[in-house]
Amino acid sequence: MKELEVYKDFSLKGYNTFGIDARADRFIALRSTDEYVDLLSSGVLDDGRFFILGGGSNVVFSDKYQGTVVHPANKGVSLIGQEGSRCFVEAGAGEVWADFVDSCISQGWYGLENLAAIPGCVGASPVQNVGAYGKEAKDVIWRVDCFDIANGAEHWIDAADCGFDYRWSNFKGEWKNRFIIDRVVFRLDSAFTPNLSYKALSEALAARNISQPTARQLADTVAAVRDSKLPNPQDIGSAGSFFKNPIVGKTQFDELKAKYPDIVAFPLPTGDFKLAAGWMIERCGWKGRSMGRVGVYEKQALVLVNRNGCSGQEVRRLANAIIANVETHFGIRLDCEAIFVDG
């Protein structure tokens, strides 16, 4: 086996967008598929104390991670097949998602425009089925290539078997810590069809006098809308939306609507309703407030932000206070989208 570089007592501050100053006992970056094979045959992960870390944009670390942080960093984007206008594009887990989206548009491989400018890496895109502005990763993922951590076996998992749902997949559920994703294959299209289903996006295009956007214009407009309400991790630490938007049945929605006529909700094809958690949090008076060194973003109440060197414990305290308050007010228990990684 080749020697992998193992960094000891490694600072994770630059490896999580919340900017939490945590440390890991060990840190290993994987730069090629061979290094995945080397790591899994080395026995280093056999004690089960490991965490797979992509770009760290959906995680909250405690001060110390007593185990091995594995960071997939393998790059590479290639067209591996074409059927008519369909393009099958493979990307390494360590590709930066936003750059990958940009490069696909430059190559004339379309379908990712609405998912422009989401932080993080390609390898994490199937994990919570990233979504934004009317599109989800599941709409474009064809296959996920990964290794079984227990025995090193390679698996190519079809999208249909990944259990994709709203901010969810088997990788976040029953397969958690079972697979490490090495590459993702996307099914894109050489013909561009804009998806303008998200109201805030179509309004932003109209404000720019664009009725038939090019793929680049669409992605740029998505990025501008995002900029107007989400903090840029380079300036303000966060994990994006901290909570998921809760889904309720029609009866519960009707009761809420009767009590709060201006409640914001979106009907789903299932007949259920997705409630805007940001509206509920704002309504409880949290928007712009702080608790110690962590706060609720003033432009988007769903986003918790690092005010000045906050700890993971402070983030948890604020999240719990918000969950309790929203539950008392609305009878709805919010689920965290962000993942707490404890020591």
Catalytic residue, candidates 143, 167, 226, 283: 167
- 241: annotated active-site residue: yes
- Is 239 a binder of ligand FAD (CB under 6 A)? yes
- Is 55 a binder of ligand EPU (CB under 6 A)? no
Contact with ligand FAD (CB under 6 A) among 194, 213, 233, 295? 233
- Is 276 a binder of ligand EPU (CB under 6 A)? yes
**Distances in whole angstroms, Cα of residue 228 to Cα of each of 66, 114, 207, 286:** 38, 16, 14, 19
Q: How far apart are CA 318 and CA 2, in angstroms?
A: 45
Considering only the stretches 31-39, 185-193, 236-244, 294-302, report the one whose residues sit in contact with ligand FAD under the rule CB under 6 A.
Answer: 236-244
195 vs 214 by CB, closer to ligand EPU: 195
Binding-site size for ligand FAD (CB under 6 A) equals 34
Q: Would you give the DSSP letter of residue 123? A: G
Per-residue buried b or exposed e for 65-86, using 16+ beta carbons within 10 Å of the residue's own CB = bebbbbbbbbbebeeeeeeeee
Q: Which helix (H) or strand (E) holds 27?
A: strand 23-30
The rounded radius of gyration (Å) of the Cα atoms in the chain is 20
Q: Which of ligand EPU, ligand FAD, none interacts with 20 (beta carbon under 5 to 8 A by kind)?
A: none
Considering only the stretches 147-155, 198-206, 228-236, 269-277, report the one whose residues sit in contact with ligand FAD under the rule CB under 6 A.
Answer: 228-236
Structure tokens at 277: 């958690």
- 314: annotated active-site residue: no
Single-letter amino acid, residue 172: K
93 vs 201 by CB, closer to ligand FAD: 93
- 167: annotated active-site residue: yes
Task: Report H helices in 126-249.
Answer: 199-207, 215-229
Structure tokens at 165: 């749902």
- Is 134 a binder of ligand FAD (CB under 6 A)? no
Write the binding mask 294 to 333 for ligand EPU: x where contact by CB under 6 A, - elsewhere.
------xxx-------------------------------
User: Which among 45, 48, 54 is positioned nearest to 75, based on CA atoms?
Assistant: 54
Query: Which are the catalytic amino acids?
Result: 167, 241, 337
